[in-house]
Amino acid sequence: MARMRITQSAVTDIMAGAIPNKTSYFYDEDVTGFGFYRTPGNTGTFFAEYRPVAGGSKKRIKLGRVGTLKASEAREAARKAIANAALGKDLATDRATERASLTVKELVERYILEYVATKKKKASADFYRVMLSKHIAPHIGSSKATTLSRTDVQRAHTAMSKTAKVSANRAISLLAAAYVWGAKNELIPTGTNPAHGVDLNKESARERFLTEAEMVRLGEAMREAETVGFEANTTGAKHSPKGQRTVMHPSVTGAIRLIMLTGCRLREILHLRWSEVDLDRGVAFLPDSKTGRKAVILSAAAIAVMRDMPRVGEYVVASDSSGTPEEKPRADLKRPWAAICKRAGLEGLRIHDLRHSFASVGAWSGLGLPVIGKLLGHADSKTTQRYAHIADEPARRAADLIADQIATAIGGK
C-alpha cells in the first residue's frame, strides 16, 4: 500500500510504468479513504473506502475507471461518498438498490444519453433511439437489467427477426454495448452481459455496382424527370389528376449526380453548405462526415453540376425551407429516387449503391485501393478491401495481353 498525492499526472505515470504481478493499491495522502488500484491486466480503478455510521466492516465502492474518470473528478466523488457515510447514508447500499431496480430500457436510455449523444454523432444517437423504441423496449424493456438472461435476449431477438432481421441484429449489438458501458459505470455488476453469445441472423453483403448500361438508363431517367417530368402514378404523389406530370426540382437530380460523381454519402451531400465549397479550387470541405472532417476532391463534372444548381439557400441541395430563417437541410430523397429508379428499370437500387459504383469504376480503371480509399474518405484501409476483387481486373487484363503475345510467339493458342 502506497500513499501519495493522487493527481492526474501521478496516475498517468503509474499506469505507464511496469505492469504489476498483483493488484497494487495507492491511497491519497489528503483525502482519507480515497485511492485507486492497478491490476495485472493493466486496468486502473478509483475507489472510496468508509465505515458506515451504524457500524460493521469497512466498505469500498468503485468510483470509475482510470481514463474514463479524471483524478480530480474521482477525488470529488470520493469526498461526497465519505461525507454521506458520515451522515448515515450508505452509497454502496444505495447503488445496490439502484442496480436492482434499473430496467433494460433505462440502461439503454442512459447509455445513449450519457455516452453516445456526447461521444458520437447525433445520427448515431437518433438511430439507437429508434432501435430502442421499435425493438428492445417492446420485448425486454421492462425487464430488470441485472436479471435479464441470455435466453430472454435470444427469444427477444427471434421475435424481432420476424419483421426485421438486420435491425434485430443491430438491436442486440446496441444492447451488448449498453451492458459493457453499464458495467464500466457501476450500473450493473462487472461481467454481466446477456447479449453476448446470442445467435444472430446471417447477413449477406449488399454490394451493388451499376453497369455502364444501367448508368445510361439512370441518366436518361433523371433528364426526363427534370424536363418533362413523370406521371403521378410513377412518382407516388397523392391526389394528383390522372395523366398529370410532375417535374423534379434540379436540386434533386443534382444531388443524385453529385453522389455519383463524388462517391459521397447521401447525408454528406444533403448537408453540404455552399460556404463549404470552393469551386475555383475544386474542393468541398466536410466538417462532420461519418469519419470526421475531410476534404472531397471535386472533378470537373461535379463542379459543372454544382454550377448549374440553383442557389436558393445556404445548402447546396435546396429543401422546402431554403432561404428562410429556419432553414434545414433536405431530409432524404426517398420518393424522387424511387420514381427515377422505377423509370430506369432499376427498382431495388439503393442510393448508397452509387457510392459503391463510384469506387468500382475507379478500381476497374486501375486506380490503387489507397487512392480509392482516400477519395471515399475511408478512415480504415480495411474498408476499401471490399473492392480488391475489382481492382485485380486491370492486372488480369494486362496479364492476358502479355500472355497472348507470348503464346503467339511460342505457338500457343
**Tens digits of residue pLDDT in 307-354:** 999 998 999 999 999 989 889 999 899 999 999 999 999 988 888 888
What pLDDT is attached to residue 47?
A: 92
Q: Do domains 2-100 and 212-350 have the same CATH topology?
A: no
The set of cell numbers assigned to 31 is 483525502
Q: What is the CA radius of gyration of the chain?
A: 29
The set of cell numbers assigned to 3 is 500513499
Helix or strand or coil: residue 333? coil
Strand 245-246 to strand 277-278: parallel, antiparallel, or no bridges (unpaired)?
A: unpaired
Distance CA 200, CA 197 (A): 9
Distance CA 114, CA 315 (A): 31
What pLDDT is attached to residue 291?
A: 61
Residue ranges of the chain whose pLDDT lies below 70:
1, 53-56, 86-101, 204-207, 232-243, 289-292, 361-403, 406-407, 409-413
Q: Please give the single-letter amino acid code of residue 341.
A: C
What pLDDT is attached to residue 210?
A: 84
Distance CA 391, CA 362 (A): 8
Of 271, 221, 274, 259, whose CA–CA distance to 355 is shortest?
A: 259
Domain 2-100 is classified in which CATH homologous superfamily?
A: Integrase, DNA-binding domain (3.30.160.390)
Distance CA 277, CA 83 (A): 56
What is the phi/psi pair of residue 285, to 5°?
Answer: -105, 115
The set of cell numbers assigned to 330 is 433536405
- Write the CB contacts of 123 (distance below 8 Å, at least 6 apart in sequence): 267
Distance CA 236, CA 377 (A): 34
Element housing 357 (H / E): helix 352-364
Strand 2-4 to strand 24-28: parallel, antiparallel, or no bridges (unpaired)?
A: parallel
Neighbours of 381 (CB within 10 A): 11
Q: Please give the single-letter amino acid code of residue 401.
A: L
What is the phi/psi pair of residue 369, to 5°?
Answer: -60, -35
**Tens digits of residue pLDDT in 95-128:** 555 455 689 999 999 999 989 888 777 778 888 9
CATH no. of 212-350: 1.10.443
Q: What residue spans define the domains of the chain?
A: 2-100, 104-184, 212-350
